[in-house]
Every structure is written in structure tokens, then in C-alpha cells.
């Protein structure tokens, strides 16, 4: 019935795996047939505090028994509190706008850049440079910002003003009098879990600042401790002008944030969101921040990051003919394999052995476990992966 309903009533926008999960606990999931899995995907980096987290559940239940939504026509106290905490944890002087997804956050970032270029004198500046293999969302404008030509098929005409650099070294040569911003991911997620060179990013940040061009960092996947620090921007020791967040902040509840040091760039009516920052998402986000701040401050998060990286490195080293390279940061990791066919076989074999993992790009096995994963579940996950690759 499940497959029948999807075939008949749901648009086929995903190549879904033949699974339906009905229950979870931290880094473990149970499907409709009663089979248990170790979850090395966390809903694509969303379930940062695991599945069925008791504290998150309680915070959400407490909130929905009071009020879920009133709209942004009124002050929502926990929204202000969440913004304060995000800004203070970031270490930057910024203000936040709340939406419902990473794509929305990036749309907000693009609007900030466009208004900045409009009011910042002549000539009008509107061009935004992004990187090839980047991914910034599925809306028309965020899709055009995405530096993957195959994703642009069928959906034009697109908004003008996006330029793609082959790599970070090429960005300087593409700057001109109409360039208003550069938007990059510090670790390209969909593009293959590829971290950018730290020194090159710092040099780019200094260059853009000297030319009054905005540096916009898409931290939809890297943010909220995914790379070990609150933001990957902190890890790279840069000061962006705009940062976007989503995924791990809500622990599974839809949320998106654009934050900027252009504190007065928007006036009333310039931007909005009906659902953004409502009581439900703010209750979730504030509890997620509580849990992860405690995990970081106690040293447990750093310990788990090291433990997972060590286990992954050992696993990869044991199969040199299969895995060519280990990439990533924190709990955003990838293993390069020979080709897409091999990648698909590994993912299917892992699923059969009870491990959920993802693909990135055309040939990268991607690992995004919950930040609360235990050492026991890491061990069990890699034990199952050993069986999976042995079966190939």
C-alpha cells in the first residue's frame, strides 16, 4: 500500500530506497519490518541530537500544549532568545532572520546581497560568485546559485547575475565592478564532502573585505557543531558578512536562518516568512542548542569526533582497493570510491547489513551521523560495514 500510494499520489522527485522507518532511538532506526539499522546519515545531517531524544521531545510537547504558531506580526519571545544564542555562540556581531529551510536561508542571503549592491552607490552591483559543484538549494534562485549545470536543465529562464568559479583560486579573476558577493560552502556537502583550503579561504576573506564585497558562507550542512565548532567559519577563523544555517539546528523540525553583520540592511516589508521562527521551531532549536552546547563544553563531542574519524580511517585503510581517499571534517565525512556503480553497490550492501549511509557527488560515500552517537553504535556500525563490503 505504501509503494502504491507513492506511485499514485506522490511526485517522483526522489529515487527512494525501499525502506520505511517507524521508530528510532538516538543513532538507531527500526523499519516497518522490524529490522534495526545504525544511522550514519541523521536525515541528511538534520537529526543532530539523534532520534526520539527525550529532552527535545519534552521541549516540543511542552510547547505544543501552549501555542504552536501566531505569525511574525507579533513578538515571539523564544525567537529573540534563539537569535541571541546563535549570535553569541557564533562570536560575530550579527542579526538573524528565521525561515523554514536552507534554501530559504540562502534566498535571504541573496536578497541581502542584492539590496547591499543596490544601495551601495554606483555602479549597481548584483553579481554573486559561487563555486562549481556547490549546492545552495532547490528554489529557482538558489538553484541558479548552485554551480552544477545538470541541475539547471528545464527550469530556466533564471535570475541573472550568478558566476561560477572552477575553484577558489579562480574567484579573484572573476571579480569586477558589478560583483557584490561571493557565496561558498567551507565543506561542499552535495559536491563530495570536500573541505576548502583554510589558508585560501582566509586570503579570499581578506581580499573581499578590502574591496567591500560580501563574503557569504552557506553553513546549512556544516553549522551547529557538525564540523566540531559551532560554525565551520569559526574553525576557519574568518568573519563572514552573511551566514546561512538550517538542518541540524531544529533536530528534525524545519528551520532556516540567515544571519548578517549588515544589521540594518532590511527594513519592514523587505523580507518575510509566515512560518519562520514560530513557537514550535524555536522550542526545538533552543533545546537542540542546550543539548549540543553541553555536549561541546563537556568535551564529549570532541571525543566522539575523534573516535568516529579513527574508526572511519581504520575501516578505509582495511580496504585500499575500494577506498581512494578519506575527506571531510568533524562528523561530516566521506570516502572516495572508484565510480558511481561501486558507490551504489556499497550503499545497498550497507543497507542489507543494517547501516544507513549516503552518497555525495558521483563517487563519495558520505557519513553524517547524529552528533550524539555513542561509541558502541559507532563500533557496531563499522562492524556491519565490514560485513557489507565483504559481501561485494
Are 193 and 110 contained in the same domain? yes
pLDDT at residue number 392: 85
- Round to whole Å and give the CA distance between 38 and 378: 8
User: What is the rounded average pLDDT for all residues in the chain?
Assistant: 96
The answer as to whether 4 is a domain residue is no
pLDDT in tens, 88-116: 999 999 999 999 999 999 999 999 999 99
> Of 219, 250, 212, nearest to 233 (Cα)?
219
Are 289 and 305 contained in the same domain? no
Which cell is 377 given? 553504535
Are 257 and 284 contained in the same domain? yes
Are 293 and 330 contained in the same domain? no
Q: What CATH number does the domain containing 260 carry?
A: 3.40.640.10
Strand 162-165 to 127-131 pairing:
parallel
The answer as to whether 278 is a domain residue is yes
Query: What is the mean pLDDT of the segment spanning 41-52?
Result: 98
Query: What is the mean pLDDT of the segment spanning 243-250?
Result: 98
Are 253 and 331 contained in the same domain? no
Are 251 and 360 contained in the same domain? no
Are 110 and 255 contained in the same domain? yes
- Round to whole Å and give the CA distance between 380 and 355: 9
Q: Report CA-CA distances (Å) from 184 to 163, 283, 361.
A: 12, 30, 17
The answer as to whether 13 is a domain residue is no
pLDDT at residue number 22: 97
Query: What is the mean pLDDT of the segment spanning 143-148?
Result: 95
Are 120 and 29 contained in the same domain? no
- Whether residue 50 is predicted with pLDDT greater than 80 in this model: the reply is yes
- Round to whole Å and give the CA distance between 41 and 358: 6
The last residue of a domain, from among 282, 297, 312: 297
- For 326, how many CA atoms within 13 A lie in the half-sphere containing its CB? 16
pLDDT at residue number 361: 87
- Round to whole Å and give the CA distance between 386 and 316: 10
**Residue 206 contacts residue 170 (beta carbons within 8 Å):** no
Which cell is 2 given? 505504501
Are 311 and 383 contained in the same domain? yes
The count of domains in the chain is: 2
The answer as to whether 3 is a domain residue is no
The answer as to whether 8 is a domain residue is no
Task: Tell me the Ramachandran region of residue 27: left when phi exceeds 0, alpha when psi lies from -120 to 50, beta otherwise.
Answer: alpha
Expressed as residue numbers, the domain containing 359 is 18-47+298-390
**Band of the pLDDT at 119, cuts 50, 70, 90?**
confident
The last residue of a domain, from among 297, 327, 345: 297
Q: What CATH number does the domain containing 356 carry?
A: 3.90.1150.10
pLDDT in tens, 148-191: 998 999 998 999 999 999 999 999 999 999 999 999 999 998 88
Per the DSSP assignment, residues forming a β-bridge with 323 are 337
User: Which distant-in-sequence residues (6+ apart) come within 8 Å of 332 by Cβ?
Assistant: 45, 187, 189, 193, 221, 222, 226, 227, 367, 368
The answer as to whether 9 is a domain residue is no
The answer as to whether 382 is a domain residue is yes
Backbone angles phi, psi at 358, to 5 degrees: -125, 170
- Whether residue 373 is predicted with pLDDT greater than 80 in this model: the reply is yes
Are 200 and 247 contained in the same domain? yes
- Round to whole Å and give the CA distance between 255 and 267: 22
- Whether residue 267 is predicted with pLDDT greater than 70 in this model: the reply is yes
Are 367 and 240 contained in the same domain? no
Are 74 and 136 contained in the same domain? yes
Backbone angles phi, psi at 182, to 5 degrees: -125, 125
The answer as to whether 266 is a domain residue is yes
Least confident of 189-198, 202-211, 271-280, 349-358: 189-198
Work out the percent of the chain whose per-residue pLDDT is above 90: 91
- pTM for the model stands at 0.96
Give the 3-state DSSP-derived string for the chain, with helices as H, strands as E and coil as C. CHHHHHHHHCCCCCCCCCCCEEEEEECEEEECCCCEEEECCHHHHCCCCCECCHHHHHHHHHHHCCCCCCCCCCCCHHHHHHHHHHHHHHCCCCEEEEECCHHHHHHHHHHHHHHHHHHCCCCCCCEEEEEECCCCCCCHHHHHHCECHHHHCCCCCCCCCEEEECCHHHHHHHCCCCEEEEEECCEECCCCCEECCHHHHHHHHHHHHHCCCEEEEECCCCCCCCCCCCCHHHHHCCCCCEEEECHHHCCCCCCEEEEECCCCCCCCCCCCCCCCCCHHHHHHHHHHHHHHHHHHHCCHHHHHHHHHHHHHHHHHHCCCCCEEEEEEECCEEEEEECCHHHHHHHHHHHHHCCEECEEECCCEEEECCCCCCCHHHHHHHHHHHHHHHHCC
User: Which distant-in-sequence residues (6+ apart) come within 8 Å of 33 by Cβ?
Assistant: none
The last residue of a domain, from among 280, 297, 314: 297
Amino acid at each position: 500500500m505504501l509503494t502504491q500510494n507513492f506511485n499514485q499520489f506522490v511526485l517522483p522527485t526522489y529515487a527512494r530506497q525501499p525502506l520505511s522507518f517507524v521508530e528510532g532511538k538516538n543513532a538507531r532506526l527500526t523499519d516497518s519490518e522490524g529490522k534495526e539499522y545504525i544511522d550514519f546519515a541523521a536525515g541528511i545531517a538534520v537529526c543532530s541530537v539523534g532520534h526520539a531524544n527525550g529532552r527535545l521531545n519534552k521541549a516540543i510537547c511542552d510547547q505544543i500544549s501552549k501555542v504552536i504558531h501566531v505569525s511574525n506580526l507579533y513578538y515571539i519571545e523564544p525567537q529573540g532568545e534563539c537569535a541571541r544564542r546563535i549570535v553569541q555562540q557564533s562570536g560575530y556581531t550579527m542579526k538573524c532572520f528565521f525561515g523554514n529551510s536552507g534554501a530559504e536561508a540562502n534566498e535571504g542571503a541573496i536578497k541581502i546581497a542584492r539590496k547591499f549592491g543596490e544601495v551601495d552607490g554606483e555602479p549597481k552591483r548584483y553579481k554573486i560568485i559561487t563555486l562549481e559543484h556547490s549546492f545552495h538549494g532547490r528554489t529557482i534562485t538558489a538553484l541558479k546559485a548552485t554551480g552544477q549545470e545538470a541541475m539547471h536543465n528545464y527550469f530556466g529562464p533564471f535570475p541573472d547575475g550568478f558566476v561560477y568559479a572552477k575553484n577558489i583560486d579562480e574567484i579573484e579573476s572573476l571579480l569586477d565592478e558589478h560583483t557584490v558577493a561571493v557565496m561558498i560552502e567551507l565543506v561542499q556537502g552535495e559536491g563530495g564532502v570536500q573541505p576548502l583550503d583554510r589558508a585560501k579561504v582566509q586570503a579570499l576573506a581578506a581580499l573581499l573585505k578590502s574591496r567591500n564585497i560580501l563574503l557569504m558562507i552557506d553553513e546549512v550542512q556544516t553549522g551547529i557543531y557538525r564540523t566540531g565548532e559551532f560554525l565551520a567559519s569559526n574553525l576557519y577563523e574568518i568573519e563572514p558578512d552573511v551566514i546561512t544555517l538550517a538542518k541540524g539546528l531544529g533536530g528534525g523540525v524545519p528551520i532556516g536562518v540567515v544571519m548578517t553583520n549588515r544589521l540594518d540592511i532590511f527594513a519592514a516589508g523587505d523580507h518575510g516568512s509566515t512560518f519562520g521562527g514560530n513557537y514550535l521551531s524555536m522550542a526545538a532549536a533552543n533545546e537542540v542548542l542546550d543539548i549540543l552546547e553541553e555536549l561541546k563544553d563537556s568535551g564529549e563531542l570532541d571525543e566522539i569526533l575523534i573516535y568516529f574519524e579513527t574508526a572511519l580511517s581504520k575501516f578505509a585503510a582495511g580496504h585500499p582497493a575500494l577506498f581512494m581517499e578519506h575527506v571531510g571534517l568533524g562528523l561530516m565525512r566521506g570516502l572516495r570510491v572508484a565510480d558511481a556503480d561501486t558507490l551504489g553497490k556499497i550503499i545497498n550492501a550497507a543497507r542489507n547489513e543494517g547501516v544507513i549511509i549516503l552518497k555525495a557527488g558521483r563517487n563519495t560515500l558520505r557519513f553524517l551521523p547524529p552528533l550524539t552517537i555513542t561509541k558502541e553504535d559507532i563500533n557496531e556500525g563499522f562492524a556491519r560495514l565490514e560485513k557489507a563490503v565483504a559481501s561485494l
